Each structure stands twice: as C-alpha cells, then as structure tokens.
Amino acid sequence: MSHHLLLIIHLLSAAIWVGGHLLLVFGFLPQALKEKNQIIILDYERKYEPVGMTALVLLVITGILMAYKYGVSIEYWFQFETPIEKVVSTKLALLLLTVLFALSAQFRVLPKLEKNAEKLPEMTFHILSVTIIGVLMVVFGSFVRYGGL
Ligand code: HEM
C-alpha cells in the first residue's frame, strides 16, 4: 500500500480517535459532572467504543507500516537515536500508556461506575489523560514532515 494512502487512513483514524475524545470532554463530560450523572458518559462510551477502537487499531497498523517505510523497523524502536525514530518511539510509548489507561478504565473503573456516580472523578481523570495523550500523538506525528524530533 502506498505511503500516501496509509497517511490518509492514519489521518482519518486520528480525526475519529482524537475528535471522539474531545467531543466527550467538551460536549458530554461537563454535563455529566454537573448533574453527577454517569449514564451520560456510559451511553456515549457504548456508542463510540466500536468506532473508536477500530480507529485506534487502524492508527497502530498504518503508523507501524509508515514507520517501516521510513526505515524505522522494530529493531530500532526505543533507541532514541535518529529524529524519525524518536517520533515513532515516543508515539509507541504514548500508545502503551493509552492501552494501560483503557485497560484500567475497562476493568477497574467502568464496572463500578455502572452502579454509582462515586467513580466519576476517577473516570474523568482517565478520559482527560487519554484525550491529552491523543492530542500529543497528533503533535508528535506532525513533527515527521519537519524531519522528526
Ligand atoms: C492515538 C494514536 C495516534 C494519533 C492520534 C496519530 C496522529 C498522527 C497525525 C495527526 C500525524 C500527522 C502527519 C502529518 O503531519 O501529516 C501522524 C503521523 C505519523 N504517525 Fe501517527 N498517530 C497515532 C499513532 C501512531 C502510532 C502508534 C504510530 C507508530 C508507531 C504512528 C506513526 C506515525 C508516523 C510514522 C507518522 C508520519 C507520517 C508521514 O508524515 O509520512 N502514529 N500521526
């Protein structure tokens, strides 16, 4: 697959992943916190999850394929030596962090949030963290066209 097509899929997926989280943060989270109503977040999560997870999987696949096209294959990851490899390694580290937050939300926070609103602050922390990480992913990705970090 051409690099250009991979980049287009990567950008569309980034729009869905980051856009979906920004919509949650600015469109739904304030009302949920104001009304102490966790159902608003749970409803959004349920509808967004299949689309969001597909976008994240596509981001990882296209990102890794583009990294390979830049010559950054697995044996160079986390060496932090060349400018493009630094971007790729930073993004992979942020991806790992995203996965840890997602697992923690899925298994620790969400099951309890279903029953009561007490876990709202913890869920808010998870949502804000994943959103900020997503925005950072966009920022780090944009460095590639300027030669890397
Ligand atoms: C939440 C996850 C991610 C988001 C939101 C994201 C977002 C972006 C964005 C917005 C660009 C912009 C490129 C441009 O300036 O046109 C980009 C580029 C790039 N991303 Fe990601 N990315 C994510 C995950 C990944 C992962 C996991 C990798 C693989 C390690 C990766 C590798 C790359 C590469 C190699 C480029 C450069 C493409 C090019 O300009 O040729 N990304 N990313």
The pLDDT value recorded for residue 39 is 95
Rg of the chain (C-alpha set): 17
> Would 149 be classed as within a structural domain?
no
Count: domains in the chain? 1
> Would 59 be classed as within a structural domain?
yes
How many residues make up the chain in this entry? 149
Q: How far is CA 58 from CA 37, 66, 120, 121, in A?
A: 32, 12, 29, 30
Q: Quote the ligand 1 centre to 141 CA distance (angstroms).
A: 4
- Taking only the tens place, the pLDDT of each residue in 31-52 is 999 999 999 999 999 999 999 9
> Would 101 be classed as within a structural domain?
yes
- Taking only the tens place, the pLDDT of each residue in 72-103 is 999 999 999 999 999 999 999 999 999 999 99
Strands in 22-108 per DSSP E = none
* Pocket lining: 32 vs ligand 1, CB cutoff 6 Å: no
Determine the atom of ligand 1 nearest the C-alpha atom of 142: 15
Query: 108: which residues sit within 8 A by CB, 6+ positions away?
Result: none
The pLDDT value recorded for residue 116 is 85
The pLDDT value recorded for residue 104 is 96
Q: What is the mean pLDDT of the chain?
A: 96
* Pocket lining: 141 vs ligand 1, CB cutoff 6 Å: yes
The pLDDT value recorded for residue 49 is 95
pLDDT at 59 over 90: yes
The pLDDT value recorded for residue 114 is 85
> Would 49 be classed as within a structural domain?
yes
The pLDDT value recorded for residue 19 is 98
Q: Residue 113 is inside which H or E element, if any?
A: helix 110-113
pLDDT at 54 over 90: yes
Q: Quote the ligand 1 centre to 137 CA distance (angstroms).
A: 7
Task: Write out the residue range of the structural domain in which residue 77 sits.
Answer: 3-144
> Would 61 be classed as within a structural domain?
yes
| Residue located nearest, by CA, to atom 32 of ligand 1 | 63
The pLDDT value recorded for residue 68 is 98
> Would 73 be classed as within a structural domain?
yes
The pLDDT value recorded for residue 115 is 86
> Would 110 be classed as within a structural domain?
yes
> Would 97 be classed as within a structural domain?
yes
